[in-house]
Amino acid sequence: SSSLSLLFASRMVKISVVADNLKTMTNAEKRGRRQVMLRPSSKVMVKFLQQMMKHGYIGEFEIIDDHRAGKIVVDLNGRINKCGVISPRYDVQVGDIEQWVVNLLPSRQFGKIILTTSMGIMDHDEARRRGTGGKIIGFFY
């Protein structure tokens, strides 16, 4: 039976890199870890982490190039309560951002929704300032 389970293990497909990594990070944070290794790395993942770092939800992170998909080591600081992705990546217009904030975040004071826009990946406040909508990637608070 072990060879059978091995067969299935090799067939398991990563659906969403970002979703998996954010889940891993939330779990590590819940367990009180200081660091967590995320893999594989992706451009979107790096941009997401940069936003989290900018707002102080994580410490530094380091991208490790292993000549494969890459790994990211993130320093946690205990500030993440939850982070996750929104799948599918819904289209959000500037006017609708407020409704998403109300639905996803616990309060207006903290937490960010990350959007991918024609001006790059940014949080919902910046998108609102720049007057642009986009597709929603995920959130953290």
pLDDT digits (tens, 9 = 90+) for 66-94: 999 999 999 999 999 999 999 999 999 99
**b or e along 51-68 (b: 16 or more beta carbons within 10 Å of the residue's beta carbon)?**
bbbebebbeebeeeeeee
Question: Contact 127/134 with Cβ under 8 angstroms?
Answer: yes
pLDDT digits (tens, 9 = 90+) for 100-124: 999 999 998 889 999 999 999 999 9
Q: Is the pLDDT of residue 133 over 60?
A: yes
Per-residue confidence at 9, pLDDT binned at 50, 70, 90?
low
Scanning the chain, the segments in alpha helix (DSSP H) are 2-11, 17-30, 43-54, 97-104, 124-130
Q: Is the pLDDT of residue 4 over 70?
A: no
Other CB atoms within a 10 A radius of the CB of residue 138 amount to: 22
